Amino acid sequence: MSGQPSALTGMAAYAAAIAAELTEAVRGIDPAQAEAFAEALDGAANVFTAGAGRSGLMGKALAMRLMHSGSAAHVVGETTTPGIGPGDLLVIGSGSGETRTLVPMAEKARELGADVAVVTLKPDSTLARLATLVVRLPGASKSRDGDNYATIQPMGSLFEQTLLLFYDASVLRLMQRRELDTNRMYGKHANLE
């Protein structure tokens, strides 16, 4: 990818370029880290998701699918979110691994005996150092500071999209581990809408 959207024309060309970037990015996910993440999701008493901005939205999507798969899943900051403790897992998505609002959450979760999984571009970041489990996603950071990862997309889009794909793939692995199919999961779908 050239890194310049002006080289492409039309929505279909942009969509194809994004799909190609995502295909390349997911090839760079470490299978052992991915499996450890699925195991952590499967073994947690409660799963809490957190992230800032679009990464937080991807965390909400994960929490929803975890609930559909039978997990007790919660989004940090929602009014119905219970307290965290031993046996629980806090999942944080942060490209930089330095998001100032998320660092105290990780510290508090660890203090209270919970595990912390951080999905990030930066495995040497503050959040990664606080984590019990780190998954490194390939991609470009918002600032592009020190990055050599080519993308036509602005800011953290590639990370956020890869994060959603990784979370969805983790749910598929969890479904496999729990012998679930979409019909069984649909029984937990919202029915007041």
Catalytic residues: 160
Residue 115 is inside which H or E element, if any?
strand 115-120
DSSP 116: E
Q: Comparing C-alpha atoms, which of 162, 167, 144, 166 is closest to residue 154?
A: 144
Query: CA 179 to CA 141: how far, in whole Å?
Result: 36
43 in helix, strand or coil? helix
Contact residues for 148 (Cβ-Cβ < 8 A; gap 6+) = none
Q: Where are the alpha helices (DSSP H) in the chain?
A: 11-27, 31-43, 53-68, 103-111, 126-130, 157-178, 182-186
